Chain A
């Protein structure tokens, strides 16, 4: 919260166990190791441990925002919050939306990132850095700022997007105002914002593909598509997996885009799980919100665990 972790970051492919590789455990280093970890442990202990426990416990109480002055005086309600969660229409809608968002945005981001990387890696030299920089732009800017621009651009009447569509004879939709197009609009916007990251990863990976492979394939008469399918994709498999799985984990926490663009509307069509939780806290329903957060946390944790298993190099 203090430092907003960017949506995605380089993942760990090696599993939760720090690997020792060739190094034997240096004798007498445990003290040093703890010393080196102290700053992290201090911040964690002070700012995260207690709040985490408080959050977990809160989920089993009927705590509301009106109780913050006397957090002791709340009732233990067992699993009631959790039972309510599964009957809550808005929460169910949020879960479906989040799922839709993750399964559409992830491939779209990867496809755009891969396309950009391949264009940049296709032998051009002039302006390469310039283009790379341009494509990376959206990733480094804050969503809060750029949301204003997007909302104005997507305005059905006075927006530039529909104006451009009109010049080619298309009557553009109402984008964020139409139940059918609102979530897809956010999917496009999120892909736009994030593909630069995947692009950089793919660029790095493409550079490690031996050129001879392509030359040999060309000699054998393989077309562009065949070369892409037979050489590029298999060689990029680790990169693709990494981007796919890591993006998906980030997109599960999809919050900022709907919060600043649509507030979850119209008719909850862009309500995400994180936004639904955010709303519950806004309503003052701390117990209920915390229970929902615990469920989301469990899903993310399970997903991340699967990611570690999946991406661990097969040995």
Chain B
């Protein structure tokens, strides 16, 4: 009797919880769903009053128009190359700095960390012109190198890695030193393998940043063959006419890879945020 009532209460509680979660999810994910559905509607329907949620008639024309006006293959390759270089470089170089800051505690550490903080706090727009002048003087305008250079070692990455590595017991490192291992060996064989969750997190965050970056690649790339996905998308919008359906299709194309990556890495991601951000 008693157990029966309790079970009933648990069931009600579960139902309430799931309802709340579902309502929340609809509110949170609704705009995405609407975007995806909208990319299959003709322009007139997107702007129709009263609005529709499901397309009255599914059309693929928006994607066709997008792929016709944009060299999707080239710009996607560019985006992948740029993002891969930025991610790989951040994973390695941020970790190196973090290792120096936490395990090689040295006199210049405060200075280096101060510079990291400084870089993080500067409003970016001030840097645009001077950075481009530098890139142009190095003859790197219109190159992959020019696009990736300012983002090769992000302060955020140094920050996260430092946070994580600080919690790796120094005894591990010391023991390896006693065994005669060099610092590079310790770094690659002992410390880095322990950093997997935070590396996954950092990888995802830098990928997002690089994949979505817009202004800098648009300024550095001088030919459309060097454009990244968001830059190419932006070059399609005319001054006075907006092709909403194609725009939404473009949004779906940009967002999808990030989502897939996130789904693949999300286990590590939660772990990474938890350990790097807070413990």
Residues of chain A at the chain B interface (Cβ within 8 Å): 1-6, 9-14, 16-23, 25-26, 29-30, 32-34, 36-37, 39-41, 43-44, 46-48, 50-52, 54-55, 58, 68, 115-116, 119-120, 122, 124, 127, 129, 131-138, 140-142, 144-146, 148-150, 152-153, 157-160, 163, 192, 197, 200-201, 203-205, 238-239, 242, 253, 274, 277-278, 281, 286, 289-290, 293, 296-297, 300-301, 304
Nearest CB in chain A: distance from B88 CB, A:
12
Which residues from chain A contact B116 at a C-beta distance below 8 Å? 40
Which residues from chain B contact A12 at a C-beta distance below 8 Å? 159, 162-163
A-B Cβ contacts below 8 A, count: 321
Of the candidates A1, A48, A134, A296, the one whose C-beta lies within 8 Å of that of B128 is A1
Residues of chain B at the chain A interface (Cβ within 8 Å): 14, 17-18, 20-21, 24-25, 28-29, 31-32, 34-35, 38, 46-51, 53, 86, 89, 92-94, 96-97, 99-110, 112-131, 134, 147-156, 158-160, 162-163, 166, 170-171, 173-174, 177, 183, 187, 204-206, 208-217, 230, 244, 247-248, 250-251, 254-255, 258-259, 262-263, 266, 269-270, 273-279
* CB <8 Å contact, B255 and A141: yes
With A4-B209, A5-B156, A304-B121 known as contacts, the answer to whether A134 contacts B28 (CB < 8 A) is yes
Nearest CB in chain B: distance from A134 CB, A:
5
* CB <8 Å contact, B106 and A33: yes
Which residues from chain B contact A146 at a C-beta distance below 8 Å? 31-32, 35, 251
In the docked arrangement, what's the CA distance between A23 and B165, Å? 13
* CB <8 Å contact, B49 and A158: yes
* CB <8 Å contact, A37 and B31: no
In the docked arrangement, what's the CA distance between A86 and B237, Å? 37
* CB <8 Å contact, B150 and A4: no
* CB <8 Å contact, B119 and A44: yes
Prevailing SS type, chain B contact patch: helix
In the docked arrangement, what's the CA distance between A200 and B3, Å? 35
Chain B: which residue is nearest A147 at the CB level?
A: B251
Of the candidates B105, B151, B171, the one whose C-beta lies within 8 Å of that of A18 is B105
Listed by A's residue number, 20 A-B pairs whose Cβ atoms lie within 8 Å are A2-B147, A2-B217, A3-B210, A10-B163, A12-B159, A29-B183, A30-B108, A33-B109, A37-B97, A37-B112, A39-B89, A39-B153, A55-B122, A120-B21, A141-B32, A142-B230, A142-B255, A145-B250, A274-B125, A289-B125
In the docked arrangement, what's the CA distance between A136 and B14, Å? 22
Which residues from chain A contact B100 at a C-beta distance below 8 Å? 32-34, 36-37
Nearest CB in chain B: distance from A47 CB, A:
4
* CB <8 Å contact, B93 and A158: no
* CB <8 Å contact, A119 and B174: no
Of the candidates A51, A129, A152, the one whose C-beta lies within 8 Å of that of B46 is A152
* CB <8 Å contact, A277 and B121: no
Which residues from chain A contact B160 at a C-beta distance below 8 Å? 9-10
* CB <8 Å contact, A9 and B156: yes
With A39-B97, A55-B127 known as contacts, the answer to whether A18 contacts B162 (CB < 8 A) is yes
In the docked arrangement, what's the CA distance between A17 and B101, Å? 9
Chain A: which residue is nearest B90 at the CB level?
A: A3
Which residues from chain B contact A116 at a C-beta distance below 8 Å? 24
In the docked arrangement, what's the CA distance between A304 and B166, Å? 20
Nearest CB in chain B: distance from A109 CB, A:
13
Contacts A119-B21, A289-B125 known; 4 new A-B pairs at CB < 8 A: A1-B127, A120-B21, A144-B214, A150-B31
With A29-B106, A135-B24, A149-B251 known as contacts, the answer to whether A48 contacts B127 (CB < 8 A) is yes
Chain B: which residue is nearest A298 at the CB level?
A: B121
With A10-B278, A29-B183, A204-B278 known as contacts, the answer to whether A142 contacts B212 (CB < 8 A) is yes
